[in-house]
Amino acid sequence: MMNADMDAVDAKNQVELEEKTRLINQVLELQHTLEDLSARVDAVKEENLKLKSENQVLGQYIENLMSVSSVFQTTDTKSKRK
């Protein structure tokens, strides 16, 4: 009987060990996934800042072009009527 009890305990311990190993592997996989996602978020933030800066430069460039172009100048209707 003792031998059967020992085998049952060993089998239970083996199942628990396998479950712990599986959970540890899942945790490690999730940690790697989180690291990958964090790196991706950082890259997207950096790209977003770059694009915002480029948009500001382009906006200023367009404003400058509009200010020097006669097409976009405001007209004084009173002086044109004279």
Q: What is the pTM of this model?
A: 0.59
**66: CB partners within 8 A, 6+ apart:** 72
**Amino acid letter at 64?**
N
The pLDDT tens digits of the residues spanning 27-75 come to 999 999 999 999 999 999 999 999 999 999 999 999 999 888 887 776 6
Q: What pLDDT does residue 78 have?
A: 57
pLDDT at 1 over 60: no
Considering only residues 5 and 44, tell me which one the structure prediction assigns the higher pLDDT: 44
Contact 50, 44 (CB under 8 A): no
d(CA 82, CA 76): 11
